[in-house]
Structure 1
Amino acid sequence: MDITTGFIVIGVIHGVLYFFDNFFKTCAHYPYLKFLEGTGFQISFLSIKWKTKAFNRVIIRWGNSRPRFLHLWFTLGLYASLLLLPVSVLLLLYSFIQNVFVSAEGGVIIEPVVPGVNLPVSELGYYSLTLVLCSIVHELGHALAAVLENVNLIDTGANIFYILPVAYVSLSTEKFSSLNRKNVLKILCAGIWHNLVLTLFAFLLFQALPFIFSSFYHVNKGITIANIAKHSPLLGSKGLSVGDTVYRVNDCDINDENKWYSCLQSLEGPKPAFCIESDVVHSLDESIPLKHLENGNLDCCDKEKSKNICFEYLDSADGVLELPSHACLPGRSVVEKSTNFCSADPHACPNGFYCFRPILANGTNLFKIICEDKNVIYLGLASDIYRTVEVSSYIPNIFFNSTVLPDVVTKFVKYTAVISLGLAIVNVIPFIYMDGQHIADVLGLILLRKRCGKSGARIITVIITWFFTFILVIQCLLTILKVLL
């Protein structure tokens, strides 16, 4: 099932639930109404809400267990969140300017996460689970800070907006509004603070995972092929297989997953050059008179009779052994026999070997993937490898033959750090219906009330909130459109 079909199915399920919910409520169907009342479910258009009082007692006990520590904890959270506010605003403005006025190839700093667009569908489960975890931690911060300030906790629960699960807590607005502004800010910033702490914890855990798993797996000694898509051009008897250990791609050494992707990215640029033995050139050369192609390249192979590749001799001016300036050679054979690369200038090759570079179409490259027990030769795009081959930084040892456990833990921790930081940034920015809106209201009253009056301060904060709401919405829409187009 592709992502579009999945979204349609989820939409149909929401529609069916919404129809029957209205139908049973219109008929005053008592068992159904009793079910909703007992379980705490509420169904609305493209939304399912669940609320309960079951966790109130536990949260109240936690909030009253160590009041002195929690007062210090949430005071630190207040200052940390207020420091994050200008940083987040500047990041948003920078990303907006970058997105609108600059054609940035490196991507923007703040962008929405959209399944099937910039989030692999296969990782939607990680995204959903970490979003639930981060929102629970966020709301727990609000709840504990509220209990500490004697604000009544009404209930807790969760909302599913189409496919996005989000936790929430309901507080007594009457008691909340009677607090002094500093304590109000503590409660408003508590969720952001908890997300920052969770981000730091997940980041440190992510850095420690290679050490933790090093007792059970080989780490920083290459990568393991974890999965290959069925349509991958690398799949086959002469290609890669699940479980292969890869140490190098061309002249780029690989010790972990990050290095694998950085090597592929670097190989999207200049074509690699190979040290080829002179006897191989003379014996396998099938070149014809040079032809100029429409793309500006030269070709020395007869494509109708041969699948060879035209190689350019980079040091042809030396006239060594009268090697031809261009040679039509079988790519797989010469690359397999080549033991060195000579892309850097000067082109250094062992004695008897000389530097040749394949002449290929834009984007296409010649890859020599060096594995533990074989070499894989691939002619194509680096993006094809990137999109269709999943790798792991963990190489199984004699006791473990699967990388599933460390890969799952690593992805979950990585998503937790990213999503939690994203929630902290979005929540602190003045945006309607988010914590930032209420933080801006309180800060506006503190900073502007004496000069502008209460109504003037509220007008200014409303303008600021709507301005940043507009900026953030446009930023998200432009980022999605650029990815789609």
Structure 2
Amino acid sequence: MSHIGYYLTALLICGVFHEAGHAIASFSERVPIQSSGLFISYIYPGAFVNIPDQYLLLLSPFRQLKIICAGVWHNVVLYLFTLILLGGGLKSILETSGWQTLEGNGGVSVVQVRSQSPMAPHLPVSSVIYQLDDRELEHNILDWNHFLLDPQGREKPHPGFCAVINDDDDDDDDGKKLPSTLACCEIDDEYPFGKALNASISCFQDFTSSMLDKTPEHLSCLPTIQVLGPRHPERCENDDECSGQNMRCVTPYTPSQSGQVVRVYARMPDWTDQSDDQDKVFVFEGELVDIWESVKVGILQPKYWFLPASLPHRSELMLRYIIYKHK
């Protein structure tokens, strides 16, 4: 339903262009037009040109056919012109008008963020998302879609993360984790983030353990931002590679598809406050498709703050609906 405006506008554009063909052909054949205009039938928009039959019948069959077929011919021209724009013409026009492409540099430009999304306060329009977890978006939207939509597109983060484990508080006399301290790891479809009351902690498992290994000694409840939030966290493949004491090599434990944890690396627009670090890392918890649905992205980024970031996206979407209408 969010595209209904594009669809109806495409109908109107195609209808006006079609009827304009009849009108121009009539004018060229010196046939007067009785009336013309636009109409809306319920929500359906359209256009019309009324050519008197008595004038049309005075023409030769070929000249009559020229007027009758002019609307279809105009639609063919509009279709071909739209194909050219979608094939690279629109991109070239925008690049000469103040937008820059991210092709070759990687990443996707944020066009719009749904206001209800938890990412809305953190991702300004025109910022560039260049990495999701350890996947660099080298192929732009292709990698973006593959990571967020393809169940096989996301792999376990590799290597793991060095995190401080307070074994004294979490272990019993036998060195095993106490069940009461692992409420965040009680994850199922009903509780995709675990049953812990503290929303700032998440479940992590030892990097060397398998996803099927759910024994308490391999799981830990740790502060999410502290482990995953730094731009350059200490990475590891085993505990010995961690530099600090009481540190363990861990990775997020996310058995539920609704409770995934993903690091989003983004670069803020050039016109934002330069006193702050332009590169940010956000940690998103939830279903990956929610990111895809709430954050609209493109491959063109405006060079200046006053250019509307959504113009390339909206223009391409309108052109695609015009193509769809002709098909």
1:326 paired to 2:219:
yes
Q: Which amino acid is 1:232 matched to?
A: S
Alpha-carbon separation, structure 1, partners of 2:195 and 2:325: 58
Paired residue total: 288
Secondary structure, aligned partner of 1:419: helix
Alpha-carbon separation, structure 2, partners of 1:176 and 1:213: 44
RMSD of aligned C-alpha atoms?
4.4
Q: 1:352 aligns with which of 225, 237, 241?
A: 241
In the other structure, the counterpart of 2:275 is none
Aligned partners of 2:18 and 2:74 also within 8 Å: yes
Alpha-carbon separation, structure 2, partners of 1:297 and 1:270: 24
Q: 1:393 aligns with which of 271, 279, 299?
A: 299
Alpha-carbon separation, structure 2, partners of 1:223 and 1:292: 35
In the other structure, the counterpart of 2:266 is 371
Secondary structure, aligned partner of 2:310: helix
1:422 paired to 2:324:
yes
Alpha-carbon separation, structure 1, partners of 2:127 and 2:297: 10
Secondary structure, aligned partner of 1:359: coil
Alpha-carbon separation, structure 2, partners of 1:253 and 1:295: 29
1:161 paired to 2:41:
yes
1:235 paired to 2:117:
no
Alpha-carbon separation, structure 2, partners of 1:251 and 1:181: 68
Q: TM-score, normalised by structure 1?
A: 0.48
Secondary structure, aligned partner of 1:328: strand
1:412 paired to 2:296:
no
Which of the pair is proportionally richer in helix?
1
Aligned partners of 2:252 and 2:261 also within 8 Å: no
Shift of the 311–170 alpha-carbon distance from structure 1 to 2, 3 Å rule, reads same
Secondary structure, aligned partner of 1:274: coil
Deviation sequence 1:178-205 (CA, Å, 0-9, x none): 8888776655543233223212212322
Alpha-carbon separation, structure 1, partners of 2:187 and 2:266: 35
Alpha-carbon separation, structure 2, partners of 1:355 and 1:130: 52
Secondary structure, aligned partner of 1:280: strand
Alpha-carbon separation, structure 2, partners of 1:253 and 1:356: 19
Q: Which amino acid is 1:382 matched to?
A: L
Deviation at 1:159, TM superposition (A): 0.9
Aligned partners of 1:225 and 1:241 also within 8 Å: yes
Q: Percent identity?
A: 22
1:199 paired to 2:79:
yes
Alpha-carbon separation, structure 2, partners of 1:413 and 1:270: 26
Secondary structure, aligned partner of 2:120: coil
Q: Which moved more, 1:248-257 or 1:159-168?
A: 248-257
1:274 paired to 2:157:
yes
Q: TM-score, normalised by structure 2?
A: 0.66
Deviation sequence 1:152-184 (CA, Å, 0-9, x none): 532221112234331211123355578888776
- Structure 2 portions without partners, runs of 5+: 171-176, 211-215, 243-248, 268-278
Q: 1:217 aligns with which of 75, 90, 99?
A: 99
Deviation at 1:232, TM superposition (A): 1.9
Alpha-carbon separation, structure 2, partners of 1:256 and 1:377: 22
Alpha-carbon separation, structure 2, partners of 1:168 and 1:218: 41
Aligned partners of 2:16 and 2:47 also within 8 Å: yes
Which of 1 and 2 has higher RCO (CA within 8 Å, sep 6+)?
2
Matches within 5 A, 1:126-141: 126-141=6-21
